Chain A
Amino acid sequence: MSDWNDKQPIFHQIKELIEKQILLGIWEEGTALPSVRAVAADMKINHLTVMKAYQLLVDDHLIEKKRGQGMFVLSGAIEKLKTEKKQQFLTQEIPNIVQMLKRIDMPVHDFIKELKKQIEEEK
């Protein structure tokens, strides 16, 4: 059984998982997502839950339903997700960082220096 957190409904967690996988390139633009049946069987959940998650992604214009063929990742989905995640980062993560810097009395320029160092190491 998969591990679900208890903060959000499962269909929401599936949606986020698929979004993450699209960003990682596991599901490329224009290719098909696994069928509802396969996802339900793999994750041992009700297929209605999977359908709900897919519907959310359709509503966000990230995937589309092709009649009789299943769900496909729309072209431009990655770009869209990146913009969305950037927005999310700015509105949700940055305030958290600000809070944290305050709590540990870390000057902003120290933080930026540290950030630059990490980015250098990544390369």
Chain B
Amino acid sequence: MTTLVRAANVSKQYQSEVAVKDISFELQAGQVLGLLGHNGAGKSSLIGALLGSLSYQGEIQVCGLNPVNQRAELMQHLAYISDVNVLPQWMTVAQILRYTSGVHPSFDINKAKQLLSSTQIAQRTKISSLSKGMKVQLHLSIIIATDTKVLILDEPTLGLDLIYRDTFYRHLIEWFHDGERALIIASHEVNEIEHLLTDVLMLKQGETVLQGDMDSIHAQYFIVDAQHQHEAIIQQMSPLASKAGLGSTKWLLESQYRSQAESLGEIINPTLQDIFIAIQKEGA
């Protein structure tokens, strides 16, 4: 497998505030990394560093290139979609396709047109008059029509209705599956992306709080649905979170207590969302 992204000890500091501290990860082709954290956790700064749009300390290589010094070359294989629309509003769809075909060596304009022909997006329309969902779809179509190896999505479906979310993920998954690619999705809507991910990097106040592949993360935690009478015992296992239900409470515990807790109630697999919320709340 090819390593597409390598970040080592990346830090970013604004005047007095630390945005991102000492983050390291690697991403191989075929992996989907979930970059999870609340607003202000450092997701945007890390993405900015990966895109070469802000200076940072540490080492970053994307497709073997330095994002700051070799940005132009890198952008042939790196793409980015964010929640705020970055497409130039004053252009028409046809104009942006033409421009991209002119400056992007691997852009296949016919493929982009074909992708758009199955949507409501007309070539003559101005981008400013497209709906939010259409803009995201247009941007994704442009990216799919280029030879993108690494795609970074920053809260891509924020403010999108369900139907657009569905088409968005459908196109995304089909595209991803068609080649040796890697995907980074930053989101705080963990539910929505959980089953897409192969790996997770969870940030809190600029620092890594959870990192690893999905299987190992799931192996670190479990939930026990135990009756109230067991509360005292479970409290000793320092549960990360609890959710009271009728007659019983669900406790999120670390897996070292699994054998002890098995007799106390039903064991349930926690979702990534459960783990995410628990970790973000911890110590807050």
Contacts and interface: CB of A to CB of B under 8 A. Distances in A.
Asked whether any CB of A lies within 8 Å of a CB of B in the complex, the reply is: yes
Interface of A: 1, 4, 6-10, 36-37, 40-49
A43 B268 CA distance: 22
Nearest to B270: A6
Interface residues on B, range: 20 to 34
Nearest to B30: A48
Contacts of A6: 223, 268-271
B174 A46 contact: no
Contact of B173 (A8, A10, A44): A44
B196 A36 contact: no
B207 to A, nearest CB: 27
B198 A48 contact: yes
Contacts of B176: 47
B196 A45 contact: yes
8 contacts: A4-B195, A7-B269, A36-B177, A44-B169, A45-B195, A46-B197, A47-B177, A48-B198
Contacts of B218: 9
B99 to A, nearest CB: 29
A37 B270 contact: no
B173 A1 contact: no
A10 B195 contact: yes
A40 B173 CA distance: 7
Nearest to B173: A41
B32 interface: yes
B174 A37 contact: yes
Interface string B185-199: 000000110011110
Nearest to B168: A44
